[in-house]
Chains A and B, each alone.
Chain A
C-alpha cells in the first residue's frame, strides 16, 4: 500500500492532455450566426469560422485560410461561401475552395478542415475528432420536446470565457456532492450517479439553505435535478423547482468548448416551461431570474477553479462521489477509438450516502440561524445577511 497512516500525502498535478476531446460540442445558438456574416469561435486550440449560407444551413470550418493563413472570420459571406479578406479565396461549407476569382483554376488540394454540423434544440453542435472519424449520430444529445414552441421560453444564453483551468474541473462537478453546500449554498439531500457509454448522469434532490438565503431561495425551495452529459462537453439538466408548492420546469444546458490546455469557454442556456396562467412577461421574468442565478453559481465555481491546482490523486472520504470512476469515463474521449477500454464505458452506479452530511449541515444551519437571531436581537442594523441576496440556492448539475 502506497499510503500508510504516517506518510505525508502529496498532490499529483499530472500533465494536462495533449488533445481535445472527441465528441459533439456546442458553438452557441443557431440564431446567433444567422446574420449573413462570418463569426469567429475559439475552440480546439484554433479559431473556427461559422456562417449561414443562403439555404439557411450553418457551416463551420477552421478559421484560417489554407492559402496564406488569412483570418476568414474577418472576411465576408459571398453567396454560400465565406471569402477570405486577404485574397478573396472562397470556401464552401464542404471544406473545398470553390473559387479564386483572380486565378484560372483552383488547386485540387484546396481543402480545409470542416466540422460536421447538427442543429439540435436551436443550437449549433459540431463534431470534433482528432482521428478524423465520421460524426457519431447515435451519441447526439436528444431533442427536447416542447422547446422551441410557445410552451417554453426561448433560450437565455450566456457565454463565459474561463482562463487558467482545464475543462475537466467542470466535469468533476458531476460527482461533487458536498460542493453544492459549500460553494453553491444549496443542500443536497440525495445524490446518485450513473455512467454508461458516452453518458454520465447526476441525480440530485436538494433544498435551499435558510441561513444564507435572501428572499429568493430559502428552506421552502425544493429541487429535483437530473443532469446528463451527452459526451464530453454537453450537459442537459432537467430541473423541477418546487417553491412553496409552485412547481416550475426548467431545462439548463451546460456546455463548454475547450480552447487550450488551461482554458475553455463555458456556455449555458436556460429555458423555462411557461407556467399555466402566467402571462408571457412573468414567464420571461422567471426565466431571466433563473439564468441570473445559475450564472452567479458558475462564477462561484470559476473562483474556486482559478485558485485551485489540478489533482490527479484526489483523496476522498466516504461521503464523496465517484471521482475516479467519472474520470475513467471521461478518459474515453481522449484516447483513440481503438483504445477505449471496456471499464471506461461499462455501466457504473453510485449512491452517495448523504446521511452524515445532512445531520451535520442541519446542525450548522440551525446554529447559523440562532446566531443571526441573537445578533438581530442585539439591535444590529437588521442587515442579517447582506451577501446572501441573489445567491443561487438551487445550483445543480455543475
Chain B
C-alpha cells in the first residue's frame, strides 16, 4: 500500500540511516519540547520533532495554520545553537548521511 515499495532490504537500511541515524536529543531551554538534531556541518541543521514535542512548543502552537507556521521556533533554534556550542551536538557528516 506504499507509494513505492522497495524491492531490496538494503533500502530499508538506507531509509533508517537517512531519517533516524545520528540524531542527538536537544531539549528546549524555554519549554518542555525535546527534538532530534543532526548537524552535518556548521550551516546544515536537521530537526526532527515528535508529536509530543510539537504539542509542548507554545511558539509553533500559536502560529499554527498560516504560512508563518513554517518558520522555525526561535527559542528551539537558540537552544540548538547553545547545544552545538557546548559540544553536545557533534558537527560533521558520515558518508553523506
> A351 at the A/B interface (Cβ < 8 Å)?
yes
Residue-wise, chain B 44-55 has the 8 Å CB interface mask toward A (1 for contact) of: 111111110010
Q: Are B41 and A353 in contact (CB under 8 A)?
A: yes
Nearest CB of B to A173, in Å = 16
Complex CA–CA separation, A85 to B66 (angstroms) = 46
Point out the residue from A18, A21, A327, A351 that lies within 8 Å of B43, measured CB to CB: A351
Point out the residue from A13, A19, A322, A333 that lies within 8 Å of B7, measured CB to CB: A13
Residue-wise, chain B 25-51 has the 8 Å CB interface mask toward A (1 for contact) of: 000000000000000111111111111
Complex CA–CA separation, A315 to B93 (angstroms) = 14
Complex CA–CA separation, A196 to B2 (angstroms) = 19
> B82 at the A/B interface (Cβ < 8 Å)?
no
Which A-chain residue is minimally distant from B13 (CB atoms)?
A: A2
Complex CA–CA separation, A349 to B40 (angstroms) = 14
Mostly, the A contact residues are: loop
A-B contact pairs, 6 of them (CB 8 A): A12-B11, A203-B70, A323-B18, A324-B14, A330-B3, A349-B45
Point out the residue from A228, A327, A355 that lies within 8 Å of B70, measured CB to CB: A228
Residue-wise, chain B 66-87 has the 8 Å CB interface mask toward A (1 for contact) of: 1101101000000000000000
What chain B residues lie within 8 Å of A14 (beta carbons)?
4-7, 11
Q: Are A342 and B50 in contact (CB under 8 A)?
A: yes
What chain A residues lie within 8 Å of B8 (beta carbons)?
10, 12, 312-313
Q: Are A346 and B2 in contact (CB under 8 A)?
A: no
> A16 at the A/B interface (Cβ < 8 Å)?
yes
Using known A-B contacts A18-B1, A328-B19, determine if residue A1 contacts B13 with beta carbons closer than 8 Å. Answer: yes
Nearest CB of B to A288, in Å = 27
What chain B residues lie within 8 Å of A336 (beta carbons)?
1
Nearest CB of B to A340, in Å = 11
Nearest CB of B to A47, in Å = 23
Chain B, interface size: which category?
35 or more
Q: Are A325 and B19 in contact (CB under 8 A)?
A: yes
Using known A-B contacts A1-B13, A203-B70, A346-B50, determine if residue A333 contacts B3 with beta carbons closer than 8 Å. Answer: yes
What chain A residues lie within 8 Å of B1 (beta carbons)?
18-19, 334-336, 339
Q: Are B48 and A318 in contact (CB under 8 A)?
A: no
Using known A-B contacts A228-B70, A318-B40, A346-B48, determine if residue A168 contacts B93 with beta carbons closer than 8 Å. Answer: no
Nearest CB of A to B78, in Å = 14
> A116 at the A/B interface (Cβ < 8 Å)?
no
Q: Are A3 and B10 in contact (CB under 8 A)?
A: yes
What chain B residues lie within 8 Å of A328 (beta carbons)?
15, 19
Interface of A toward B, CB cutoff 8 Å: 1-3, 10, 12-19, 21, 142, 166, 168, 194, 196, 199, 201, 203, 226, 228, 238, 310, 312-313, 315-318, 320, 322-325, 327-328, 330-331, 333-336, 339, 342-343, 346-355
Point out the residue from A142, A312, A342, A350 that lies within 8 Å of B47, measured CB to CB: A350
CB-based closest 10 A-B pairs: A347-B49, A353-B44, A324-B18, A2-B10, A353-B43, A334-B3, A349-B47, A313-B11, A14-B4, A312-B6
Q: Are B96 and A313 in contact (CB under 8 A)?
A: no
What chain A residues lie within 8 Å of B5 (beta carbons)?
14-15
Nearest CB of B to A209, in Å = 22
Complex CA–CA separation, A231 to B6 (angstroms) = 23
What chain B residues lie within 8 Å of A226 (beta carbons)?
67, 70
Q: Are B46 and A322 in contact (CB under 8 A)?
A: yes
Nearest CB of A to B79, in Å = 13
What chain A residues lie within 8 Å of B3 (beta carbons)?
17, 21, 168, 327, 330-331, 333-334
